[in-house]
Amino acid sequence: MRAIVIHEARDLRIEERDVTPPGPGKVQIRLATGGICGSDLHYYNHGGFGPVRLKQPMILGHEVSGFVEEVGDGVTGLAPGDLVAVSPSRPCGVCRYCLEGRANHCEAMRFYGSAMPFPHIQGAFREVLVADAAQCVKADGLTPGEAAMAEPLSVCLHATRRAGELLGKRVLITGAGPIGTLSILAARAAGAAEIVTTDLSDPALAYAAKAGADRTINIGSEPDALAEYQAGKGTFDVLYECSGAAPALAGGLAALRPRGICIQLGLGGDMTIPMQMLTAKEIDLRGSFRFHEEFAVAVALMQRGTIDTAPLISHSMPLDNAVEAFEIASDRSRSMKAQIVFSEAA
């Protein structure tokens, strides 16, 4: 079977890998769809991010769905032909954070396609994937492309949980990439009354509008547009910071009302924080990192039609065109979520 392997920056290859049969509790999946995420793009464009560097070839990918081909001994509830969304979150289950129910903080997390540990954790962009049955959520009623959106949506559901009660709240979202745009859908589903979204890119903001933002602001061409929200100590109850850019955080915090909550999703490396404003307005700054149990919730919300991710899938490209798909995914003016199609049907 073929897999998408990154060797170093800009050296992406389609290579043959062996298939091992599914052992007890495991499921063999014929991959259908793989969404390209920002971290895959960091490996592709830069060979890593911050101190995390590729030290050996690594299969990329962690936003995947596929069709069950075979189940190992002891697997119940899954059968050949089932469409499943596969969670890349593989906590150990026994460390203190797993036992506390905070699996996203697992000390031995084996998240697909990560060069953080060495040897690297190989990813899921492969024609045949053997996964734990516990990672698989049945996704009947969804397209394989929608099922592969469960992963980034889970990130935004976890952030929404970190934000607390959203019913009737005014929300600002900075950054309208896939994470910001899916956060619009998550915040709306949680009852947000008003959602304003900023970005530097008009095409990205067009997707934000499609996702239901009440107002979109190009903060590049309208740098003063947040001023009306920053007046009188601020307007918004909650900020989802989804750009990882320090100016977005500073402008967003200024637009938060006293006792507002900032959820920091963007991974900006060395962002600076206006501490004085945090103190004086008694703002809660909360990080949000990955997800775990939200994955099944993401699938269920899409199945019920509460959240529709389909409009955000801008490209579906065959495995043979993987390099082109990574190029398109790297260009925000052309794409929102680019996905690779590994196979068409069960």
Binding site for Zn ion (CB under 5 A): 91-92, 95, 98, 106
Q: How far apart are CA 58 and CA 123, in angstroms?
A: 7
Question: In whole angstroms, how close is the CB of 59 to Zn ion at the nearest point?
Answer: 23
Stretch (H or E) spanning 215: strand 215-218
Choose the one of Zn ion, ligand NAD, none that binds residue 200, judging by a C-beta under 5 to 8 angstroms depending on kind. Answer: ligand NAD
Choose the one of Zn ion, ligand NAD, none that binds residue 92, judging by a C-beta under 5 to 8 angstroms depending on kind. Answer: Zn ion
Question: In whole angstroms, how close is the CB of 63 to ligand NAD at the nearest point?
Answer: 10
- Residue 299 sits at φ, ψ, to 5 deg, of -60, -45
Q: How far apart are CA 166 and CA 43, in angstroms?
A: 35
Q: In Å, how far are 49, 136, 266 from 270, measured between CA atoms? A: 12, 35, 11
Residue whose CB is less far from Zn ion, 2 or 105: 105
Choose the one of Zn ion, ligand NAD, none that binds residue 106, judging by a C-beta under 5 to 8 angstroms depending on kind. Answer: Zn ion
Choose the one of ligand NAD, Zn ion, none that binds residue 5, judging by a C-beta under 5 to 8 angstroms depending on kind. Answer: none
Q: In Å, how far are 11, 83, 157, 215, 329 from 153, measured between CA atoms? A: 29, 18, 6, 21, 18
Helix/strand/coil for 275: helix
DSSP string of 130-152?
A: EEEGGGEEE-TTS-HHHHTTHHH
Residue whose CB is less far from ligand NAD, 66 or 244: 244
Question: In whole angstroms, how close is the CB of 280 to ligand NAD at the nearest point?
Answer: 23
Residue whose CB is less far from ligand NAD, 231 or 289: 289
Q: How far is CA 296 from the centre of its chain?
A: 14
Question: In whole angstroms, how close is the CB of 153 to Zn ion at the nearest point?
Answer: 23
| Contact residues: ligand NAD, CB under 6 A | 38, 155, 174-180, 198-201, 204, 219, 242-245, 247-248, 265-267, 288-290, 332
Contact 229, 257 (CB under 8 A): no
Choose the one of ligand NAD, Zn ion, none that binds residue 155, judging by a C-beta under 5 to 8 angstroms depending on kind. Answer: ligand NAD
